[in-house]
Every structure is written in structure tokens, then in C-alpha cells.
Structure 1
Amino acid sequence: MEQFRNIGVIGRMNSVKVVETLRHLRTYLVNENYQVILESETATMLPGHGLQVASKKLLGEICDLVIVVGGDGSLLGAARELAKSKIPLLGVNRGRLGFLTDISPDDLEERVGRVLQGEYIEEHRFLLDAHVTRNENPVSFGTALNDVVLHPGKSTRMIGFDLYIDGHFVYSQRSDGLIVSTPTGSTAYSLSAGGPIMHPKLDAVVLVPMFPHTLSSRPIVVDGKSEIKLVIGEDNETYPQVSCDGQMDIACAPGDVIRITKKPFKIRLIHPTDHNFYATCREKLGWASNIAAS
């Protein structure tokens, strides 16, 4: 197992509970003689910390592991920033669901300690890149670990768009938009819109229509290496948006083209050895326990 000595720490801003956990984590890591580097914004929450400070980008260059304290959204943001550096990420949950941040603050020392001693499992998750062009000229670009979503923004009007997969025309649709989700995002926004739950090991992408203006429109699961192209109809009266993980918005216009492809590198997620995807689903989604055992 990989040895971790230089530990980067990122925390969600504006949370008293996150600050409490950051203090606890800092004390533990320093007492165990690890080299701790705080992300620059996170450092502002711990005045007098006495630690090295670095940007997210630099963390990816100098650390062996980055620990993210917050919710899944915090880890999503860190993943997009650090994916290229291929540095492993470990999540401490101070959010709500915690599909990605699976260490509880209540047993932080024990669980983090075991990981740092080499008792962990690692999985690789792929991300999506979204390129928006207008008249064949680049407009903007975004990256998502969970999903890329075409939506009407503040407007209540439907969006008309054409869908192509690997250059093949699939359909024209009028709806509130389309969710293009990775397996990681299949338990997030995609799930609330009626999409399937996909195991994280799958190399697949699901396309989930949002309130389509037809009863026959259903989610489609395609190969993860597919190129997905959305062409916004010229006759749209609204200017829709493309969101990446719900954290970055790209303003679009009628006639714009959105191309969505798999990013060429993956993120590395670290979990305690008892991590189990189905157990996480049972806990977070309220699935029934074993009836035979009750």
C-alpha cells in the first residue's frame, strides 16, 4: 500500500461543525508526526494553525493524500481541481448524505489512522468534460464528477434540443433539460429524476430526460467512451444553461452545441476497508435490511 506522509486538508467554508472537525484532525495528524498542508481558503478558518498553506493546485503537486472535510459537494469540488494530479482523496463527512465522504467525525482518529497505516481500499472514478461551442467557436468548458445538466436556468420554459450519440442522431426533444450522469452521479440528481443506480465500477453514462414532453422518453445508458452531443434548437425563446455538478454554470444560447466526453484521467477515492457500495445505499437511501435476519 502507498505510504502517506504529506497530508493536504480541505474544508468546506462557513461551517462551525467543519471547523471543529478540522481542529480535531489537525491535532491528530500533527501529534502523529504527519506533515500537514492546509488549503489556502481552509487555513482562514483556523487562525494560528502554524501549518504550511498551499493552493488546491499545489496540494496536488506536494501531497501524498488529500483529506476533504465537508459534504459530497466539497469532495466534488476537490475532485475537479485535483483529478489531473492523480492524488488520492479521502472524505470526512460533515454534510448530509455522504456517499463520497464516508468517514464519520465521531470515529475520525480510528478510521483515518487505519487508512494512514495502509488499511484502505482504492477505487477510480471517471469524470466528464463538457465543451460548449457557438458557430464552431469555443464558448466555455467545464468538468463534472457527478453530472452535466442542460436546464432552463431561471426560466420556466421548456428547451428544444437534438441529441446525438457517437455522431448518430437519437431524437429531438422538448423538456426541462437533460441530465448526463456518471455512475458516481447516479445516486445524486439523476436518481431524483428517475434515473437508474449504477455501480461505480461501470464504464457507462446515463442520460436522463427532465420532465420530457412525451411519455415514451426514458433514461438511456450508453458506453462511457461515447461522445454525447446536444444541439440547442434555434427556435428556443429561452437561453438555457449547462451545469457541472451543480457548482459551475455555463450560459448557452439557441444554436449552441454541447459536447460531453469522458475526461482522460480519473480521480482516486480512498475508503476504509469495510466500505461497501450496497451498504452505503442501504444506509443513505433507506433500503430495507435483511428480512431473514430480523
Structure 2
Amino acid sequence: MQNQHKRHILLVCKARHERAAQLGEEIRAWLTGQGHTADLVEAGLPSSLYSASDLDFVVVLGGDGTMLGVARRLVGRNVPVLGVNFGRVGFLTDAQPEDWHEKIEECLKGQEPIRSCMALRWSVLRSGAMLAEGAAINDVVVSRGALSRLVCLDIWADGQRMGSLRSDGIILCTPIGSSGYNVSAGGALLYPLMDAIGFTPVCPFLNTISPMVFPGKTDIQLQILRGSTDCYLTVDGQEGQKLEMGDILYVSGLPSAVQFMGEGTSFFERLRTRGFVLQGSTGNNTGENL
């Protein structure tokens, strides 16, 4: 370890989680004892440390929600993220708390593989002016408000009009986000390393447009039409923006926008252990069934 290149590591702990904070302090003390620079922040709080020019990698002590929030801050930075699971599902995390020492040593030595995944870039225009913009790791969702009325949308893909849609909403997701709300709404489960955008209407009226999968480079445009109830834009289930009639939402793919460290459990094993895939036991169909 004495000849190892010194690194700058940011540790991000799940908000208001005592065990994650304690382990974060333990890891920071160990890293500084090895001669590395290590900073510790609580997830969700503003910090300039995310944009440090010499940042080598980030360790997130939390669940998938914490991972999503951190990854959005790092889109396009080429700064990989290692997740230590303090959540329930752990699709995005790669290490368990008891294994942190071995995993971080491998990261410091450059022995952990890095998986590059796409993200989504979104923006909202109102009366021709930019209202809001950002990135999404899992999904961008347009949905109705509290009233049981439909959202009315006009939809384009790469400048070609697809048609109008009346529904409870619409989901645009990345491959790694496809196993969440998207699948629950009847959308396709996409392999994580694909460069694709999932497009899934939520309870469409008369099924005018079916779920689809677009190439990742597709530019998708949604416009809120007259007759819509209160509707909202939600990003990764964590950030929200109220939309108005006439607002235009633009969504496009960002290839290789986020990097996750570690090879971890295979995609299909994660699906099996989390109930997405059932193991066949009789007859000729002995594979997995979604």
C-alpha cells in the first residue's frame, strides 16, 4: 500500500442514518491513515465536493435512492461510484457493509471493473423559455395530480409526430431504471448495458399508443394539451416539477453518462433474488420466466 497512488475519495452517507454515518467515519479514518484524501458528506445536502476536479471515485453508503441522487450529480463527470448497501433492494449497490475494506482496497488498486450506463437529459420549455432542466438515472415521468382525470399529451420522436395520448401519465426510462415503475406499468425490462429508452404509457385510454423501446439517441418531445388535469414531472422519483398546459418536455439519451464500480451479482441473479424472475421446475421450460 505504501507505493499506491494517493487518491481523493468522497464518502456520501444516507441521510439521517446512524449506522451509515458511523461506517463513513470509520472508512474516512482508514483512508486518511493510508495517505489518501477522504471527505464525508450527508446525502441530499449541497456540497462543492461533488465537483472537485481531482475526485477519483465516490463511495455511497446507502440504498438505491441515495445512489440515484449522487449519480445525478456526477452525470458526465467520468467519476465512478461504489455503492455500499444500507437499503432494501440494492440494484445499484455492489458491496455489503461488512465487505467495505476489501472492496475499497480493490477500488484503490484499480481492480474493480467499471460499468458505464446511460442517463437521460431532460428540459422543460414554457412559452418558449427554459423552465427547468436536469438529468435522470432511472426515469422521467409525467403523471396526473390528485384528481382521477387524464393527462393529455402530444408526442414526437426525432421530430416525427407519433400522435396524441390520454392516460394517467407516461414513463421514459433508462435500461437500469426499467425494472422499477416502468415494469410495474407494463413496460419492457431492458438489459442494463443497452443504449435504449423505454417508453411506457400508464393506463392509456383506448390503448392508442403501446409501450415501445427507442434507440438511446432518440429525441422525444411531449407537450401538455388542453384538457389535462394538474400534472407533474418527476425525476427518479425524487425531484418534481408542476407542469402547465402548453409546456413542452424534451428527453434524450446520454450514453455512458454514469459509471458504477464493481462487477457484483449478475443481472439475472439480481432479478431472481428480488422476485422478478421465477425458476422453472417442471416440463421443458426449465429456464427463467419473467
TM-score, normalising length: structure 1: 0.86
Are 2:28 and 2:39, in contact at CA under 8 Å, matched by a contact in 1? no
Name the residue aligned to 1:22.
24
Q: 1:89 aligns with which of 76, 81, 85?
A: 81
CA distance in 1, matches of 2:77, 2:209: 39
Task: Give 1:65's match in structure 2, choosing from 57, 63, 69.
Answer: 57
Whether the 8 Å contact between 1:4 and 1:64 is mirrored in structure 2 is no
Aligned twin of 2:11: 9
**Distance apart, 1:150 and its partner CA:** 0.3
1:55 pairs with one of 41, 45, 48: 48
Is 1:247–2:277 an aligned residue pair? Answer: no
8 Å CA contact retained: 2:28, 2:40:
no
Single out whichever of 87-96 and 4-13 deviates more from structure 2.
4-13
**Shift of the alpha carbon at 1:284?**
2.4
Over 3 Å counting, the alpha-carbon distance change for 1:3 and 1:221 in structure 2 is farther
Cα–Cα, structure 1 residues 235 and 290, in superposed 2: closer, same or farther, change >3 Å?
A: closer
Out of 134, 146, 155, which is 2:138 matched to? 146
1:209 shift after superposition: 0.8
Please give the secondary structure, in 2, of the residue aligned with 1:202: coil
2:90 to 86, 98, 103: 98
Contact 2:6 2:35 in 1 (8 A): no
Corresponding position of 1:80: 72
Look up the SS of the partner of 1:184 in the other structure: coil
1:202 is aligned with what amino acid?
Answer: M
Tell me the amino acid that sits aligned with residue 234 of structure 2.
S
RMSD (Å) for aligned C-alpha atoms: 2.6
Q: Residue type matched to 2:13 in 1?
A: G
1:154 deviates by: 3.1
**Residue 266 of structure 2 is aligned to residue 276 of structure 1:** yes
Determine whether 1:184 maps to 2:176.
yes
Once the 2 structures are TM-superposed, how far is the Cα of residue 248 of structure 1 from its aligned partner?
A: 1.2
Q: Verify the 8 A CA contact 1:3 1:118 in the aligned structure 2.
A: no
Residues 244-286 of structure 1 deviation map (CA, whole Å, 9 limit, x = unaligned): 1111111110111111112376111111x45422222222235
Return 204-213 or 283-292, whichever deviates more.
283-292
Q: Judge conservation of contact 1:226–1:261 (CA < 8 Å) in 2.
A: yes
Q: Which runs of 5+ in 1 are unaligned?
A: 45-53
Alignment coverage as a number of residue pairs: 280
User: Conserved in 2, the CA contact under 8 Å of 1:4 and 1:65?
Assistant: no
| CA apart distance, 1:70 | 0.6
Match of 1:256 among 242, 247, 258: 247
Deviations 1:129-175 (A, max 9, x none): 11111222222112101000001133332101111111111121111
Relative to structure 1, the CA distance from residue 283 to residue 4 in structure 2 (aligned partners, 3 Å threshold; closer, same or farther) is farther
Give the 3-state SS of the residue equivalent to 1:285 in structure 2.
coil
Report the alpha carbon displacement of residue 216 of structure 1 after superposing the two structures with TM. 5.7
Residue 107 in structure 1 maps to residue 99 in structure 2? yes
Name the structure with the higher helix share.
Answer: 1
Deviation at 1:227, TM superposition (A): 0.6
**What SS does the corresponding residue of 2:100 show, helix, strand or coil?**
helix
Distance 1:4 1:80, change over 3 A: farther
Question: Separation in 1 of the partners of 2:34 and 2:273?
Answer: 32
Change (3 A) 1:20 1:38: closer
* Offset, 1:228: 0.5
Distance 2:187 2:181 in 1: 9
The CA distance in 2 between the partners of 1:28 and 1:78, in whole Å, is 22
Residues 285 and 20 from structure 1, CA distance in 2 versus in 1: closer, same or farther, beyond 3 angstroms? farther
Query: Partners in 2 of 1:205 and 1:124 — Cα distance?
Result: 16
AA matched with 1:198: L
CA contact (8 A) 1:145 1:185 kept: yes
Q: 1:167/1:141 Cα in 2 relative to 1: closer, same or farther (>3 Å)? A: same
Using the size of structure 2 for normalisation, the TM-score is 0.87
What letter corresponds to residue 244 of structure 1 in structure 2?
V
Q: Does 1:208 align with 2:203?
A: no
Asked if structure 1 preserves the Cα contact closer than 8 Å seen for 2:151 and 2:227, the reply is no
